[in-house]
């Protein structure tokens, strides 16, 4: 390991610059310098990485195999510097070279290999496992293009490709020698094996190569470095050589392109899976590589696969990787001579499943036609798992054929398809939701038959976020303040934030806390100016809503609140001087094919243009919508926020994790009784959380009774005036019909009941303003939010998984 001294660091850095980048310092570009810096930091981690691998293999303990189609990692440099405690040394060393760490940091393009919450959760979990010294391999896909880069053209979202690899990828280690072949298509054949047993053989039609790329996952100051292994697709030699030799070069190149397409791009939909063939190819591709990898590379050669569950526990991050279940069955039966029962015995011990949704349209159902064509052997195995399972159901509930039909993994309508959530549930030892309310609704509404049959299979693990990235790195000023008060232990033991509670009444601490918030706002102001040309006014309540754009998350409700305030000033119902100065920040990407979401983005931008320039408002209301919200922006935005908007319709947001990040950084939440908000409110206390809207039972009741949004429009004058202002064309450059789709959807359908919750939301915003006017009371609430949110560390989530699901423990 290079020495932990400034001199040693400088030597290493210059060496990397010269030998890796092939440039002298005086001729190097900022990108060269960044790449050399990354390599330098990597070198510090290398010995620990190798040692971790050796230690883990020797110990033969159980490894967590986290299977996730997404990892929304965020920038790597800062986290690596933190984990190696190199910040100070790097700062000084670079300064000696005439360079500025902060500038080099900005060179890094974050790996955005995920859509939102689910992908970011995976990143937090692998961080926590490394920090807690738990052996874990994260398995996923090395998308060449991650989540699209969002731009706005005349207020409309326009997507650009995310070329995160273009300037070099210093954090990855490709291992082409460890590539794995993955087969697709073809048919199956029956034959009689040497032992006289009838066997099945899969005769695939084509194949690709999976090339592993390893990434380091360093624990916080503990010497452990776990591995994230992402797979990239390549054409196999046999595949293109054959065609090359036939002389058809163009065809050979097409074949290559075809293979490489599999890991080319992340699907940007995160709620309505489209059943695209390429997506299924992606899922099988990374899962097949990952299973093969563990069995062939990580296990010793003579390992008895009957004991596989002693050595690996696979966590299915939603249903996306569940094709691993029939794949493991296939490997054991077709390639390792297991009987069906032996294979099932092993397989059903190896998997656990986390569900991240309640929306029916977000549940994956793959047409049997497609699955059978792409993976004929897996389709057979799924049918057989289903048969065996339904026999169990019939035994448990004799005569209840309707129930058996209901529980079948094979849906018959609208077309024959495999319900992946059912397959996941049947094959897993444990099934969990991601917040208490969600786990309850999962049992009661999504999988009631399954929870009746196997009540002990179901459990909850409330999500969490890593305090390393989302407090220590993103909010250094608050971190220092906390450490000065209670010592540094909180970074790996977040419940210790409790010790801050008494400080909520210490005047000097409150002043310092406000200074931190003000400094974070100033930092954000500078960033938004430079990044987006946006001016953030001084002294405003900073009201932030950042998350994917979705109807159920109700960005439109936030917008109605703003338009309502604006309308009241415009029509003289209230004086501008009486409006609490407020800047509302939105950050949101819409799935490119999601028309309503894109229209909502357009509407927000059009309202912003109008409100931000209206003299009547006297600068007291401002909307800022920086494009391309991502992890990097979140790290600057969240520490600056006063108010966190968590306003989904109750029962719709599985958990939310942004909500936790805000609370931990001293923002107060205005939110519904949904997802993890329920637990946040319980922990921080009613007084320090602005609750509004219907709760889930009330939503269900209103839905059952028949919801008519028009009633709210007709009976609520302010709501009517607000919607009428939009309908009048006030925000649409003279085209009154521009936003008809959004407004008429609210008026006629409003699936997520924004109008029903409008009044209550506005009232809660009134309470926000009241509290905000009382600086001392606000600060007290904010400090208590920090002090009482320690539960939401992903370290705690990991402890819960270890105890309730994985039944394993950190390495000793
Ligand atoms: C599936 C099939 C085909 C194409 C895309 C998909 C797909 C991709 C991503 C479906 C769903 C997602 C992402 C879902 C997600 O991010 N869910 C969020 O997970 C968080 C972590 O548990 C929760 O906090 C959020 O409440 C939940 O919305």
Q: Is the CB of 84 under 6 A from ligand 1?
A: no
Q: Give the rounded percent of residues in the chain with a pLDDT score beyond 70.
A: 99
Separation between Cα atoms, residue 185 and residue 373, nearest integer Å: 6
Rg value, the chain, Cα:
27
60-75+110-354 and 467-792 in the same fold: yes
Alpha helices in 574-705 (DSSP H): 595-613, 631-637, 658-664, 677-684, 696-705
Nearest CA to ligand 1 atom 11: 270
Q: Is the CB of 321 under 6 A from ligand 1?
A: no
Separation between Cα atoms, residue 95 and residue 713, nearest integer Å: 62
Q: Is the CB of 464 under 6 A from ligand 1?
A: no
Q: Which CA distances in Å does 59 have to 65, 130, 133, 530, 657?
A: 16, 16, 13, 51, 34
Q: Is 548 a catalytic residue?
A: yes
Q: Is the CB of 673 under 6 A from ligand 1?
A: no
Q: Is 356 a catalytic residue?
A: yes
- What angle is formed at CA 68 by the lines to CA 67 and CA 69, rounded to 5 degrees? 130
Nearest CA to ligand 1 atom 8: 270
Give the confidence band of 171 by pLDDT, cuts at 50, 70, 90: very high
Q: Is 547 a catalytic residue?
A: yes
Q: Beta strands 689-691 and 668-671: pairing type?
A: parallel
Using one digit for the tens of pLDDT, what is the confidence trace for 753-794? 999 999 999 999 999 999 999 999 999 999 999 999 999 999
Q: Please tell me the distance between residue 56's alpha carbon and the centre of ligand 1 in angstroms.
A: 31
The hierarchical CATH code for the domain 467-792 is 3.40.50.2000
Q: Is the CB of 268 under 6 A from ligand 1?
A: no
Give the confidence band of 241 by pLDDT, cuts at 50, 70, 90: low
Q: Please tell me the distance between residue 70's alpha carbon and the centre of ligand 1 in angstroms.
A: 9
> Do residues 127 and 78 touch, judged by C-beta distance below 8 A?
no
Q: Would you give the distance in Å from CA 670 to the centre of its chain?
A: 22
Give the confidence band of 498 by pLDDT, cuts at 50, 70, 90: very high
User: Please, what is the average pLDDT of the chain?
Assistant: 97
Q: Is the CB of 755 under 6 A from ligand 1?
A: no
Q: Please tell me the distance between residue 114's alpha carbon and the centre of ligand 1 in angstroms.
A: 9
Separation between Cα atoms, residue 418 and residue 379, nearest integer Å: 9
Residue 231 scores a pLDDT above 90: yes
Given phi > 0 = left and psi -120 to 50 = alpha, else beta, which region is 168? left
Q: Is 445 a catalytic residue?
A: no
Cis peptide before 184 (omega within 30 of 0): no
- Residue 152 — φ and ψ, nearest 5°? -115, 130
Q: Which two tokens stand for residue 343?
A: 């294979």
Q: Per-residue DSSP letters for 509-559?
A: HHHHHHHHHHHHHHHHHHHHHHHH-PPPPTT-EEEEEES---TTTTHHHHH
> Do residues 290 and 252 touch, judged by C-beta distance below 8 A?
no
Q: Would you give the distance in Å from CA 43 to the centre of its chain?
A: 29
Separation between Cα atoms, residue 282 and residue 286, nearest integer Å: 6
Q: Which CA distances in Å does 184 have to 177, 277, 417, 764?
A: 22, 12, 19, 55
**Residues 304-332: b if buried by 16+ CB within 10 A, e if exposed:** ebeebbebbbbbbbbbbbbbbbbbbbbbb
Q: Please tell me the distance between residue 115's alpha carbon and the centre of ligand 1 in angstroms.
A: 7
Specify the pLDDT at position 244.
64
Catalytic residue among 354, 657, 672, 779: 657
Separation between Cα atoms, residue 361 and residue 144, nearest integer Å: 28
Q: What is the mean predicted confidence (pLDDT) over 59-69?
A: 97
Specify the pLDDT at position 240.
59
Q: Is the CB of 638 under 6 A from ligand 1?
A: no
Separation between Cα atoms, residue 499 and residue 556, nearest integer Å: 39
Separation between Cα atoms, residue 772 and residue 135, nearest integer Å: 46
Nearest CA to ligand 1 atom 13: 270
Q: Is the CB of 270 under 6 A from ligand 1?
A: yes
Q: Please tell me the distance between residue 570's alpha carbon and the centre of ligand 1 in angstroms.
A: 40
Q: Is the CB of 460 under 6 A from ligand 1?
A: no
Q: Which fold has domain 60-75+110-354?
A: Rossmann fold (3.40.50)
Residue 63 scores a pLDDT above 60: yes
Nearest CA to ligand 1 atom 4: 273
- Residue 315 — φ and ψ, nearest 5°? -105, 125
CA dihedral defined by 445, 450, 451, 455, rounded to 10 degrees? -170
Catalytic residue among 75, 547, 558, 561: 547
Q: Is the CB of 48 under 6 A from ligand 1?
A: no
> Do residues 122 and 115 touch, judged by C-beta distance below 8 A?
no
Separation between Cα atoms, residue 373 and residue 377, nearest integer Å: 9
Specify the pLDDT at position 811.
77
Which of 271, 646, 660, 678 should be mutated for ligand 1, with most atoms under 8 A from CB?
271
Q: Is the CB of 674 under 6 A from ligand 1?
A: no
Specify the pLDDT at position 515.
98
Q: Which CA distances in Å does 91 have to 43, 44, 97?
A: 17, 15, 10
Residue 718 scores a pLDDT above 70: yes
Using one digit for the tens of pLDDT, what is the confidence trace for 679-698? 999 999 999 999 999 999 99
Catalytic residue among 224, 356, 561, 771: 356
Using alpha carbons, select from 528, 482, 538 the residue that is nearest to residue 786: 482
Sign for the pseudo-dihedral over CA of 653, 657, 658, 661: positive
- Residue 581 — φ and ψ, nearest 5°? -60, 125
- Residue 137 — φ and ψ, nearest 5°? -115, 125
Q: Reduced to 3 states, what is the DSSP secondary structure of residue 34?
A: helix
Q: Please tell me the distance between residue 800's alpha carbon and the centre of ligand 1 in angstroms.
A: 21
DSSP 265: B
* Burial of residue 801, with CB atoms counted within 10 A of its CB: 0-12 exposed, 13-18 middle, 19 or more buried: buried
Q: Please tell me the distance between residue 343's alpha carbon and the centre of ligand 1 in angstroms.
A: 30
Sign for the pseudo-dihedral over CA of 119, 120, 126, 132: negative
Using one digit for the tens of pLDDT, what is the confidence trace for 259-304? 999 999 999 998 887 879 999 999 999 999 999 999 999 999 999 9
Q: Please tell me the distance between residue 270's alpha carbon and the centre of ligand 1 in angstroms.
A: 5
Q: Beta strands 136-141 and 225-235: pairing type?
A: parallel
Q: Is the CB of 545 under 6 A from ligand 1?
A: no
The pTM assigned to this predicted structure is: 0.98
Residue 812 scores a pLDDT above 60: no
Q: Per-residue DSSP letters for 353-393?
A: EE-----GGGS-EEEHHHHHHH-HHHHHHHHHHHHHHHHHH
Q: Please tell me the distance between residue 119's alpha carbon and the centre of ligand 1 in angstroms.
A: 8
Closest-lying ligand 1 atom to the alpha carbon of residue 654: 26
Catalytic residue among 661, 730, 780, 799: 661
Domain ranges of the chain: 60-75+110-354, 467-792
Q: Is the CB of 675 under 6 A from ligand 1?
A: yes
Catalytic residue among 553, 561, 582, 598: 553
Using alpha carbons, select from 682, 686, 222, 226 the residue that is nearest to residue 493: 222
Q: Is the CB of 267 under 6 A from ligand 1?
A: yes
Q: What is the mean predicted confidence (pLDDT) over 539-555?
A: 98
Specify the pLDDT at position 57.
92
Which of 282, 357, 360, 366 should be mutated for ligand 1, with most atoms under 8 A from CB?
357
> Do residues 493 and 499 touch, judged by C-beta distance below 8 A?
no
Q: Is the CB of 665 under 6 A from ligand 1?
A: no
Closest-lying ligand 1 atom to the alpha carbon of residue 279: 3
Q: What is the mean predicted confidence (pLDDT) over 251-265?
A: 89
Q: Is the CB of 269 under 6 A from ligand 1?
A: yes
Q: Per-residue DSSP letters for 64-114?
A: EEEE-S-EE---SHHHHHHHHT-HHHHHHHHHHTT--HHHHHTTPPP-EES
Hey, which residues does 431 pair with through a beta bridge? 353, 458
Q: Per-residue DSSP letters for 647-682?
A: -PPTT--S--SHHHHHHHTTPEEEE-S-TTHHHHHH
Q: Is 457 a catalytic residue?
A: no
Residue 2 scores a pLDDT above 90: no
**Residues 235-256: b if buried by 16+ CB within 10 A, e if exposed:** bbeebbeebeeeeeeeebeebb
Q: Is 529 a catalytic residue?
A: no
Q: Is the CB of 438 under 6 A from ligand 1?
A: no
Q: Which two tokens stand for residue 742?
A: 């959004």
Specify the pLDDT at position 622.
98
Q: Reduced to 3 states, what is the DSSP secondary structure of residue 779?
A: helix
Separation between Cα atoms, residue 387 and residue 409, nearest integer Å: 9
Closest-lying ligand 1 atom to the alpha carbon of residue 121: 21
Specify the pLDDT at position 242.
67
**Residues 216-229: b if buried by 16+ CB within 10 A, e if exposed:** bbbbbeebbbbbbb
Which of 116, 265, 549, 662 should be mutated for ligand 1, with most atoms under 8 A from CB?
116
Q: What is the mean predicted confidence (pLDDT) over 349-367?
A: 95
Specify the pLDDT at position 306.
98
CA dihedral defined by 436, 441, 446, 452, rounded to 10 degrees? 90
Q: Is the CB of 551 under 6 A from ligand 1?
A: no
Q: What is the mean predicted confidence (pLDDT) over 472-482?
A: 98
Specify the pLDDT at position 341.
98
């Amino acid at each position: 390991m290079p020495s932990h001294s400034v001199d040693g660091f400088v030597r290493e850095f210059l060496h990397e610059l010269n030998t890796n980048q092939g440039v002298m310092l005086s001729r190097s570009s900022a990108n060269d310098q960044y790449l050399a810096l990354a390599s330098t930091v990597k070198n510090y981690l290398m010995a620990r990485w190798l040692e971790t691998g050796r230690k883990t293999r020797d110990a033969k303990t159980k490894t967590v195999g986290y299977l996730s189609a997404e990892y929304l990692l965020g920038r790597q440099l800062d986290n690596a510097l933190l984990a190696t405690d190199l910040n100070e040394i790097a700062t000084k060393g670079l300064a000696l070279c005439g360079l500025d760490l902060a500038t080099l940091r900005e060179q890094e393009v974050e790996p955005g290999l995920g859509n939102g919450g689910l992908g970011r959760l995976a990143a937090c979990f692998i961080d926590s496992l490394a920090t807690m010294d738990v052996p874990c391999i994260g398995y996923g896909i090395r998308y060449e293009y991650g989540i699209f880069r969002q731009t706005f053209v005349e207020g409309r979202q326009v997507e650009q490709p995310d070329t995160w690899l273009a300037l070099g990828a210093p954090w990855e280690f490709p291992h082409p020698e460890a590539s794995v072949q993955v087969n697709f298509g073809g048919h199956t054949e029956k034959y009689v094996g040497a032992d006289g047993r009838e066997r099945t053989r899969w005769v695939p039609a084509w194949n690709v190569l999976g090339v592993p790329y390893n990434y380091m996952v360093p624990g916080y100051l503990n010497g452990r470095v776990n591995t994230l292994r992402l797979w990239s697709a390549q054409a196999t030699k046999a595949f293109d050589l054959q065609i090359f030799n036939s002389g058809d070069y163009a065809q050979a190149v097409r074949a290559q392109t075809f293979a490489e397409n599999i890991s080319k791009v992340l699907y940007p939909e995160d709620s309505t899976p489209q059943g695209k063939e390429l997506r299924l190819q992606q899922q099988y591709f990374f899962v097949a590589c990952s299973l093969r990898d563990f069995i062939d590379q990580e296990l010793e050669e003579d390992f008895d696969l009957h004991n596989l569950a002693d050595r690996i526990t696979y966590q299915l991050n939603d249903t996306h990787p569940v094709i691993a279940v029939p794949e493991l069955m296939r490997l054991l039966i077709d390639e390792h001579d297991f009987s069906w029962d032996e294979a099932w015995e092993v397989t059903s011990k190896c998997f656990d499943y986390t569900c991240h949704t309640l929306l029916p349209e977000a549940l994956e159902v793959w047409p049997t036609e497609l699955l059978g064509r792409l993976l004929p052997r897996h389709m057979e195995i799924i049918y057989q798992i289903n048969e065996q399972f339904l026999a169990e159901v019939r035994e448990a509930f004799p005569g209840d054929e309707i129930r058996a039909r209901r529980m079948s993994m094979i849906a018959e309508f609208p077309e024959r398809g495999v319900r992946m959530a059912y397959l996941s549930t049947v094959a897993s030892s444990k099934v969990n939701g991601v917040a208490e309310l969600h786990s309850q609704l999962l049992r009661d509404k999504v999988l009631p038959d399954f929870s009746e049959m196997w009540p002990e299979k179901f459990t909850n693990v409330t999500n969490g976020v890593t305090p390393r990235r989302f407090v220590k790195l993103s909010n250094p000023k608050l971190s220092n303040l906390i450490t000065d008060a209670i010592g540094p232990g909180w970074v790996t033991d977040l419940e210790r934030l409790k010790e801050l509670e008494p400080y909520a009444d210490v005047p000097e601490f409150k002043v310092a806390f406000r200074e931190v918030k003000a400094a974070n706002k100033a930092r954000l102001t500078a960033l938004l100016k430079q990044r987006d040309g946006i001016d953030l006014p001084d002294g405003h309540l900073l009201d932030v809503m950042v998350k994917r754009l979705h109807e159920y998350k109700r960005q439109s409700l936030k917008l109605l609140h703003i338009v309502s305030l604006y309308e009241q000033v415009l029509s003289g119902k209230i004086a501008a001087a009486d409006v609490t100065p407020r800047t509302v920040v939105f950050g949101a990407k819409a799935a490119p094919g999601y028309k309503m979401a894109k229209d909502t983005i357009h509407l927000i931008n059009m309202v912003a243009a109008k409100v931000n320039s209206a003299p009547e408002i006297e600068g007291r209301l401002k909307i800022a919508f920086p494009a391309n919200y991502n992890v990097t922006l979140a790290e600057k935005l969240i520490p600056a926020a006063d108010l966190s908007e968590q306003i989904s319709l109750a029962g719709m947001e599985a958990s939310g994790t942004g909500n936790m990040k805000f609370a931990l950084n001293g923002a107060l939440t205005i939110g519904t009784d949904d997802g993890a908000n329920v637990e946040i409110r319980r922990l921080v206390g009613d007084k320090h959380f602005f609750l509004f809207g219907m709760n889930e039972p009330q939503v269900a009741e209103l839905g059952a009774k028949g919801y008519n949004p028009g009633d709210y429009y007709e009976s609520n004058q302010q709501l009517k005036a607000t919607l009428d202002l939009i309908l009048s064309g006030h925000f649409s450059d003279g085209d009154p019909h521009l936003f008809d789709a959004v407004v008429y959807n609210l008026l006629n359908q409003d699936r997520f009941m924004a109008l029903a919750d409008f009044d209550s939301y506005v009232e809660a915003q009134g309470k926000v303003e009241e509290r905000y006017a009382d600086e001392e009371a606000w600060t007290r609430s904010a400090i208590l939010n920090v002090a009482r949110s320690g539960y939401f560390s992903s370290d705690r989530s990991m402890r819960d998984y270890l105890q309730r699901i994985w039944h394993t423990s950190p390495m000793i």
